[in-house]
Amino acid sequence: MKTSQKIIVVSCTCLLVIVSVGCAAAARKLYTAKAERRAAKEAAQNIEKEIQELEKEVEELEKEQAQREAEGKKEVITEEQPQAKGKKIAIDPGHQGPNVDMSDLEPMGPGSQEMKAKASSGTQGRYTNVPEYELTLNISKQLRLELEQRGYEVVLTREDHDTAISNSERALMAAEEGSDIYVRIHANGSEDPLAKGAMTMVPSAENPYVGALHPKSYALGESVINAYCQECGMENDGVQLYDNMTGINWSQIPVIILEMGYMTNEQDDVNMQDPEYEKKMVKGIANGIDQYFAAGN
Q: What is the pLDDT of residues 226-272, one digit of tens each?
A: 999 999 999 999 999 999 999 999 999 999 999 999 999 999 999 99
For residue 19, pLDDT beyond 70 = no
User: Which pLDDT score, from 0 to 100, does residue 61 have?
Assistant: 57
How far is residue 104's CA from residue 96's CA, in Å, rounded to a whole number? 14
* Whole-number pLDDT of residue 10: 46
- Better-predicted residue by pLDDT, 73 or 281: 281
- Those residues whose C-beta lies under 8 Å from the C-beta of residue 293, and which sit 6 or more positions away, are 83, 84, 87, 180
Q: 42-51, 69-78, 186-195, 203-212: which has the minimum mean pLDDT?
A: 69-78
Domain 82-294 has CATH 3.40.630.40: yes
> What pLDDT score does 14 carry?
45
- Average pLDDT for 281-295: 98
156: pLDDT strictly greater than 60: yes
Burial of residue 280 (CB within 10 Å: 0-12, 13-18, 19+) is: middle
Close Cβ partners of 173 (under 8 Å, ≥ 6 residues apart) = 90, 155, 157, 165
Q: Domain residues of the chain, as ranges?
A: 37-80, 82-294
Q: Per-residue pLDDT tens for 58-74?
A: 566 565 565 555 545 44
> What pTM did the predictor assign?
0.74
Mean pLDDT across 43-49: 74
- pLDDT of res. 4: 52
